[in-house]
Copies of this chain bind each other. A is one copy, B any other.
Amino acid sequence: MVYGRTMTKRTIGNVARMSGLTIRTLHHYDDIGLLVPSDRATNGYRIYSESDLERLRTILVYRELGLGLPEIASILDEDADPAETLLRERAKLTDRIERLRGITDMIDKAIADQRKGRKMSAEDALSVFGDFDPAEYQEEAQERWGDTDAYAQSTLRTAAYTKTDWETIKADASQVNDLFLSLMTEGVPPSDPRALEAVDTHRTHISRWFYECTPEIHVGLGQMYIADPRFTANIDREADGLAAYMSAAIGARYSS
């Protein structure tokens, strides 16, 4: 067998070894039509030409970038714009990174909780929240929501929060509140896009720290902001009418 520079026909095992893939992978690419060898020997063996290899190299690059095989196929067949596809993929990846980061944070907390067995005491929480006691709020919450998933999540998560966590949460929360506050003082109506965006920020905040706040739950929360004097008072401490404003914005956000 001549192994010279003119050798342009390679068998599948040959290709597999030089590309670091397995034969099964090449079989698969053949099956789905992503890389169909341009020739077959009389005995049925797959024969890969030089241009097949080029195509394979391109496939590998895009695969490395995280694209799915169908997407790669549509790029190679020029049915799709590479840049656009890559941009979409990039967006998905950054989302995943964010989510994973959040998850690792939660795992850190869960581990710390597990190890130390130390739970956030009501005292610690109080020192951060001032006169608004989240523990007390939780009792009420349990009555209202019973043993819903949201409540369970909230309990489990908040149990793992340390004092500094609460400080972070509080800072985070007041940022969200300030967002609403500035909008309100500017006279922006609650139905304004900016206010609706703030609603989303608010929901994200809750989901991040307490429980997965679904739109339904969020609506209920918004109603409670004006129905429950404890909530109203706590929010209006920052500015009169803020609770009503937030509630209105939340209502507007989800009114189809």
Interface residue ranges, A against B (CB under 8 Å)? 18-20, 53, 57-58, 60-62, 64-66, 82-83, 86-87, 89-90, 93-94, 96-97, 100-101, 103-104, 106-108, 110-111, 114-115, 120-122, 124-125, 146-149, 152-153, 156, 212, 214
> Which of the residues B100, B153, B212 comes within 8 Å of A96, measured between beta carbons?
B100
Closest chain B residue, CB of each to CB of A148: B18
CB distance from A222 to the nearest CB of B (A): 19
- With a cutoff of 8 Å between Cβ atoms, the chain B residues found around residue A82 in the complex are 110, 114, 120
The answer for the CA separation of A94 and B82 in the assembled complex, in Å, is 29
Given A61-B156, A156-B61, A107–B122 Cβ distance below 8 Å? no
- With a cutoff of 8 Å between Cβ atoms, the chain B residues found around residue A58 in the complex are 120-122
- With a cutoff of 8 Å between Cβ atoms, the chain B residues found around residue A65 in the complex are 103, 106-107, 110
The answer for the CA separation of A124 and B60 in the assembled complex, in Å, is 12
- With a cutoff of 8 Å between Cβ atoms, the chain B residues found around residue A148 in the complex are 18-19
Q: Is the CB of B93 within 8 A of A149?
A: no
CB distance from A82 to the nearest CB of B (A): 6
Q: Is the CB of A90 within 8 A of B61?
A: no
The answer for the CA separation of A125 and B148 in the assembled complex, in Å, is 49
Closest chain B residue, CB of each to CB of A214: B20
The answer for the CA separation of A156 and B82 in the assembled complex, in Å, is 15
Closest chain B residue, CB of each to CB of A151: B57
Q: Is the CB of B110 within 8 A of A103?
A: no
Q: Is the CB of A125 within 8 A of B156?
A: no
> Which of the residues B19, B97, B107 comes within 8 Å of A86, measured between beta carbons?
B107
- With a cutoff of 8 Å between Cβ atoms, the chain B residues found around residue A104 in the complex are 90, 93-94, 97
The answer for the CA separation of A114 and B85 in the assembled complex, in Å, is 11
- With a cutoff of 8 Å between Cβ atoms, the chain B residues found around residue A212 in the complex are 20
Closest chain B residue, CB of each to CB of A97: B100
A-B residue pairs in contact (CB < 8 Å), sample of 12: A18-B147, A18-B149, A60-B122, A61-B156, A65-B106, A66-B103, A83-B114, A90-B107, A93-B100, A93-B103, A94-B104, A97-B104
The answer for the CA separation of A96 and B93 in the assembled complex, in Å, is 11
Q: Is the CB of A61 within 8 A of B93?
A: no
Q: Is the CB of B57 within 8 A of A86?
A: no
- With a cutoff of 8 Å between Cβ atoms, the chain B residues found around residue A107 in the complex are 65-66, 86-87, 89-90, 93
CB distance from A64 to the nearest CB of B (A): 6
The answer for the CA separation of A93 and B111 in the assembled complex, in Å, is 15
Q: Is the CB of A61 within 8 A of B120?
A: yes
